[in-house]
Structures are given as C-alpha cells and as structure tokens.
C-alpha cells in the first residue's frame, strides 16, 4: 500500500515515528560510530552501536540529517541489527532495506547510507 507521499506506508510510519534516534557516548570503548555522507544529495547519517563482550549489539542509535527515505532507512536498519550479532549487522544490504521499504530507484542511495553507516562504524 502506498500513501499520499508516494512511499509505502512502512516508510511513512518509520519517518513519523523513527526508532532508536539519539546518541551514544563515542568515548566509550564499546561504542562504534559510523558517519557517512551521500554525495548525491549532501545528506549525512551517523549510526552508533554498542557491542557487548559476546559480540552482540546491545544498543544502537542513529541521527540522520537527510530526507524522509534516509530517516526511514536508518530507523528500519536499527531495528534490523538491534540485539543481533555484529556479523549479522555487517551482512545487511541496502537492497534488503530498499526492498522492504519499497524505495523508488531515485531513493536507493538513501538506503545505501544506512548500509554504509553500519559498515564504517
């Protein structure tokens, strides 16, 4: 189903009510920070994860200075990786995100941001 905005409802839903927005203490040794920018539009995304001793992601926060698709992609990505292993998180592909959110081709790079931010940390 699509809404007035032309995006799938799941995008609107994540955009209106983004999960895991915020900041973790970057000085903390258990926290990894990924900061990526999208050359296509100048948007920036920061994704932070806290990894516990077992290699699991115990906390994740993001901030996106970008379009609605970027916000929704980030929010969705944090839900995907939260509580999972670092390995699984690294395996997340932007195409999975874009497919789930039914992003149009012109917005593919918005989900790329989410994938790259996870990889960089």
Chain residues that interact with ligand FES, rule: CB under 6 A: 38, 40-41, 43, 66-67, 69-70, 107, 109-110, 113
Angle (CA) 94 76 50, round 5°: 95
For the bound state, the minimum distance from the C-beta of residue 23 to ligand FES, rounded and expressed in Å, comes to 20
The span from the CA of 14 to the CA of 38, in Å, is 20
Q: How many angstroms separate the CA atoms of 66 and 110, rounded?
A: 8
How far apart (Å, rounded) are the C-alpha atoms in residues 57 and 69?
Answer: 24
Catalytic residue among 70, 110, 114, 118: 110
Find the catalytic residue in 21, 38, 41, 120: 41
Q: Which is nearer to ligand FES, 51 or 101 (CB)?
A: 101
Catalytic annotation present for 110: yes
Is-catalytic flag, 41?
yes
Residues assigned a catalytic role: 41, 110
């Amino acid at each position: 189903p699509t809404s007035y905005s032309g995006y799938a409802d799941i995008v609107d839903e994540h955009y209106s009510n983004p999960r895991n927005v915020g900041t973790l203490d970057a000085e903390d040794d258990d926290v990894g920070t990924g900061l990526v920018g999208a050359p296509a539009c100048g948007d920036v995304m920061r994704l932070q994860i806290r990894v516990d001793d077992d290699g699991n992601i115990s906390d994740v926060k993001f901030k996106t200075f970008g379009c609605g698709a970027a916000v929704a992609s980030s929010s969705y990505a944090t839900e995907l990786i939260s509580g999972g292993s670092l390995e699984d998180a690294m395996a997340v592909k932007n195409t999975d995100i874009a497919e789930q959110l039914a992003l149009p081709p012109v917005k593919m790079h918005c989900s790329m941001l989410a994938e790259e931010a996870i990889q960089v940390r």
